[in-house]
Structure 1
Amino acid sequence: MNQAPLPSYAPLAEVVRSGMREGVHYGAVVGLSAEGEVAYARGPVHDAMFPRSSAKPFQALAALRAGAPLEGTSLAIAAGSHGGEDFHAAETERILAAAGLTAEALRCPPAVPGGAAARKAFLAAGRSPERRYMNCSGKHAGMLAACVAQGWSTDDYLDPEHPLQVLVREATEDMCGERIAHTAVDGCGAPQLAVSLVGLARGIQGMRLSPEGSSERTIIEAMSAHPEYVSGTDRIDTELMTRMPGLVSKIGADGVLVLNVPTGETVAVKISDGDAEERARVLVGLTALRGLGVDVAPVKEHLTTPIQGGGRTVGEVRGL
């Protein structure tokens, strides 16, 4: 099978340790103005990429369009990647119970909490991995609620040809304004749909700018109103949304991030090395948001990431 060549990613951030450049994070970043124009771009922003969990708002939209009774915290967690705290597991169970289901219906893998404090307490209690603690369980519960609302089968709800996943595809193409370039299997087992960074940004911006009371706008408002259900008490999405009221921040695996503010400006980032320590994508995203004229002063310390050595700060990751 022929493989497409890797995009020509651009240098976006440098790692400086004790005054010497140690490494460079490559990737792509796009910023849309409030009017929807590409006003900031570095790297191959029109090439297909997997948005990973940054696409969860589109999956939540499909669930709403199918009739899932999600609102407030249940809608936020359906569009989020929670940290596996007990209140996250409880909210997931509430969504399932309202649909007449239990956690046994979930098809995401069993997992331990992702948040550091929650994981430590979970393991200290001698507990084993559970599906409801997997960071995508809220999304899966929302999908199952949609299936029940429509009378669709629940055992195979992750099949790309299942009516719900067809609806996810349609919702994604509708919001992003482009055709899906490739379909893969995400870490949670759900179909993962490839779009461009521009498409991802356009989709999230379109949801924000949709009419008041629309399903699209309601999802964005639920995320910004309940950031702890989108992410967790010790995670960066929650911090950014809490300190910049109205902001929507949604990280995706393998170096992805999307940021959107109430006035419409939207940024989407892909760090090509995966940014496993999450030390590049946030500063790159906030730098782009600032470049669009958005005031990021409430979180200005995240415009760089400190590098530690010997228990003290000896350098930083900074934008290029």
Structure 2
Amino acid sequence: MSDLYLGGEPLAEVVRSGFVESRHSGSVVVLDAAGQVAAWAGDVLGPVFPRSSNKPMQAVGMLAAGLVATPAELAIISASHRGQPVHVDAVRGVLGDIPPAALGCPPDYPLSDDARDAVVRAGEPRQPLFMNCSGKHAGMLRTCAANGWPLAGYLDPAHPLQVAARQGVESLTGEAAAAVGVDGCGAPLLAVSLRGLATAFLRLVSAEPGTAPRRVADAMRAHPDLVSGTDAEGHDTHLMRALPGLLIKGGAEGVLAAALPGVGAVALKIDDGAMRPRLPVLGAALSRLGVSLGAHADTPVLGGGTRVGQVRAIW
């Protein structure tokens, strides 16, 4: 969470066996189809680090810099994948002749339990390929190769690749980055407001067909299995499957951004970085645009493997 973040309002509560156990505060903004603020809570103008919700915008910057990629490749470049075999194969495809050793993200095991267990049983070590941001890094390396830019040092904010990625973020949000940090994967991380983040996602789905923003949005929606994963925690995948036209991308530390063409967009941040309030709050936000998440907004609380409560929106 950005130390520039100013805090928000109560958005969700954890109810266990009928007792309110805790509350989560945060901020959320809802834009209508014209990009005007339809509803909001908390601080939606102060800067936050959107974490992986920045990835689609960074992909747009890569396309503008000369990246050539298929829709499936754009989807994995924009993904926080779960390390399932289809994801690892897709990252290898983006790398092409570039050696996986060039990836600057840290070695990791897959996020998917099944995929991680298979890797461990096979005796394989942690690898950068398995890291959930490896698609983005592969896209960055491929963009460098296309331009003749050095692969070494591609994570430096002053590297031409990162300058291009920053232009993608700033052009879509309509904001200059308020701060530059380092993301968990080692790449530069740009701070923008929640309103700017929601604006960017609305522009992604509303752009003219064939343009770089629309290509990224269309690719992610055409290949939702690559954007997160098919296991239970692949929320982005399951929501894009369930709601045709929805573009959604989560980020660490309680961030989520989503947009539907002709309907509007949502961006939210949970103050304490908790992830489980995100879907109930997203459901409450989308309901203000006349869209229902149905059972997808339900976040159960378990006790002994049995449902004993839920996380529910109070905004």
Q: Which residue of 2 aligns with 1:86?
A: 85
Pairs within 5 Å for 1:8-23: 8-23=7-22
Correspondence list, 1:1-320, <5 A: 6-97=5-96, 100-234=97-231, 235-275=234-274, 278-294=275-291, 296=292, 299-320=293-314
Counterpart contact for 1:225–1:246, Cα < 8 Å:
no
Following superposition, the deviation at residue 304 of structure 1 comes to 3.1
Q: Which runs of 4+ in 1 moved over 4 A?
A: 3-6
2-structure distance, mates of 1:224, 1:194: 25
SS of alignment partner, residue 165 of structure 2: helix
Question: Percent identity among equivalent residues?
Answer: 47
Evaluate the alpha carbon distance shift between residue 140 and residue 12 of structure 1 in structure 2; reply closer, same or farther with a 3 A threshold.
same
Give the deviation of 1:311 after TM superposition: 3.0
SS at match of 1:274: coil
Residues 14 and 131 of structure 1: CA distance in aligned 2, closer, same or farther (over 3 Å): same
Q: Is the 8 A contact 1:286 1:303 kept in 2?
A: yes
Matched AA of 1:224: R
Q: TM-score scaled to structure 1, two decimals?
A: 0.94
| Alignment check: 8 A CA contact 1:85 1:232 kept | yes
For 2:186, the aligned partner's letter is G
Q: Distance in 1 between matches of 2:243 and 2:3?
A: 39
> 2:253 touches 2:273 (CA, 8 Å); kept in 1?
yes
Alpha carbons of structure 1 residues 249 and 6: separation in structure 2 relative to 1, 3 Å: closer
Structure 1 pair 152–282 and aligned structure 2 pair: CA distance change class (3 A): same
What amino acid is the match of 2:244? Answer: P
Distance 1:18 1:92 in 2: 44
Amino acid paired to 1:123: V
**Amino acid of the residue matched to residue 303 of structure 1?**
A
Deviation at 1:5, TM superposition (A): 6.5
State how far apart, in whole Å, the 2-side matches of 1:4 and 1:118 are: 34
Tell me how far 1:261 sits from its aligned partner: 1.3
CA contact (8 A) 1:52 1:186 kept: yes
Q: 1: distance between equivalents of 2:242 and 2:81?
A: 18
Alignment root-mean-square deviation, CA: 1.4
- The offset of 1:27, in angstroms, is 0.6
- Cα distance in 1 for partners of 2:140, 2:259 equals 24
Aligned with 1:69: secondary structure?
A: coil
2-side partners of 1:150 and 1:17: how far apart? 55
CA distance in 1, matches of 2:29, 2:132: 27
Task: Check 1:229–1:204 CA distance in 2 against 1; reply closer, same or farther (3 A cut).
Answer: same
The TM-score, its normalising length taken from structure 2, stands at 0.96
CA contact (8 A) 2:205 2:247 kept: no
Q: Could you list the runs of 5+ residues in structure 1 that have no partner in the other structure?
A: none
Equivalent-residue separation in structure 1 for 2:261 and 2:245 (angstroms): 6
Alpha-carbon distance, 1:264 to partner: 4.3
The farther-off stretch of 307-316 and 82-91 is 307-316
The 3 A distance-change label for structure 1 pair 4 and 145 is closer
Alpha-carbon shift at residue 6 of structure 1 (Å): 4.8
* Per-residue Cα deviation, 1:143-187 (whole angstroms, up to 9, x for no partner): 111111111111111000001111111221111011110000000
Question: In the aligned structure 1, how far is the partner of 2:313 from the partner of 2:40?
Answer: 14
- How many residues are matched? 311
Indicate conservation of the 8 Å contact 1:208/1:262, yes or no: yes
Is the Cα–Cα contact under 8 Å of residues 40 and 292 in structure 1 kept in the other structure? Answer: no
